[in-house]
Amino acid sequence: MLALPIALGLLIALLTLLALLLEGEKPVARVAVPAVAPRPEAPAAGPRLEPRADSGRDGDEFALDPGLSKEETAPLRSELGRIAAAYPARYGVVVFDPSTGESVGMDADATFLAASLNKLPVLMALYRSAASGEVDLQDKITMQASDVQAYGTGVLYTYPVGYTLTLRECAELLIKESDNTAWKMLDRYLGRDYIRAELYRVGARSTEYWIPNTTTPNDVLLMLKKISDPSYTTPDLSAEMLDVMTNTAFEDRLPQPLPEGTRVSHKIGSYGTTFSDAGLVFPQGSRDVEDAYFIVVMASETGEFTARAAMREMSLSTYRSMTGREDPAGDRASDF
């Protein structure tokens, strides 16, 4: 008679213990998932150059005027294609000038492994939720054992489990150090359904967040546009995101060949044979997003050295096209 109650009690105890063990693995969504329309089918798919002699005049301020005209898109597209041919790989590239609305693309709807570009949707969704009042960036988040990602980039994995920091501090590590543990913490905090829904809501519907972790240059461009748009969050929060993306631990791709005084707010990605860099470039002397331009370069089926060299050349060629400034000394990007 006693066997059945004892067996039942043991079963309940085991189920309770199992639930406790699995609790840390469950996503803890702290914000409501936004409603989105049904998802449509995805479309088919060296050393720094010295500042130029004309780029450091006292008191000069620079603006993108007249910017990238329609007539200039063909020469830039041709130059980007020449660089791609010089460094064999599969490329997806998009350049966009918000001052004229002109863009130059090269397989910009092709699908690539996102790698750490998947941290941009997390940053975007976190700050959007802060703007809507769903979270406070000064709220605390605590590192759980299941958050620790002891691989790739970042520093948080060296900290003890239970380490606590603010959401703002976690976001800074997410971008500046491309910290994988910070990504896991914020992914858990927001919930993947929220991040995915926010991507779809803003139109980045060719991106598969986390699994299989793929995106397209055009989707990354859309993310950058939202991050830099004050109306998407607030002027202060947008400026804060761009600041977090500036002077990161990884400045050897798009920013590297540009003149001193050029600001680049960007995010890199690297995994296997795929390498990327994407951001806003504020030419020397410019201060506002209206004076910046967007550039996304993704390369796959190649090595890091080749991809990095191609990104540098594409970055410098785009800068010259956007600003109209040629190197009077005749330095060539191909000398990297």
Q: What is the pLDDT of residues 52-109, one digit of tens each?
A: 333 333 334 444 455 788 888 999 999 999 999 999 999 999 999 999 999 999 999 9
Task: Kindly report the pTM of this predicted structure.
Answer: 0.82
Q: How many domains does the chain have?
A: 1
Q: Which two tokens stand for residue 139?
A: 């709220």
| Rg of the chain, C-alpha, whole Å | 23
> What pLDDT score does 68 carry?
87
Domain that holds residue 217: 64-326
Confirm whether 184 is domain-assigned.
yes
Q: Is residue 22 part of a domain?
A: no
Establish if 33 belongs to a structural domain.
Answer: no
Residue range 292-310: average pLDDT?
A: 98
Q: Is residue 190 part of a domain?
A: yes
Q: Are 179 and 154 in contact (CB under 8 A)?
A: yes
Q: Is residue 104 part of a domain?
A: yes
Q: Could you tell me which residue, 144 or 15, shows the higher pLDDT?
A: 144
In a domain, 185, yes or no: yes
User: Would residue 230 count as lying in a domain?
Assistant: yes
What whole-number distance in Å separates Cα of residue 182 and Cα of residue 174? 5
- CB-CB contact of 258 with 315 (8 Å): yes
Confidence at residue 16, expressed as pLDDT on a 0 to 100 scale: 42
Q: What is the pLDDT of residue 19?
A: 40
Q: Within the chain, where are the H helices?
A: 3-23, 70-86, 119-131, 167-176, 180-190, 192-202, 217-228, 235-244, 304-323
228 within a domain of the structure (yes/no): yes
Let me know: does 112 contact 274? Beta carbons within 8 Å: yes
What is the sign, positive or negative, of the torsion defined by CA atoms of 173, 174, 180, 182?
positive
Containing 275, the helix (H) or strand (E) segment is: strand 274-282
Cβ(177)–Cβ(99) below 8 Å? no
Q: Is residue 310 very low, low, confident or very high in pLDDT (cuts 50, 70, 90)?
A: very high
What is the distance of C-alpha 79 from the center of its chain?
25
Name the nearest CA neighbour of 196 among 213, 216, 181, 184: 213
Q: Which CATH number does the domain housing residue 147 bear?
A: 3.40.710.10
DSSP symbol at 277: E
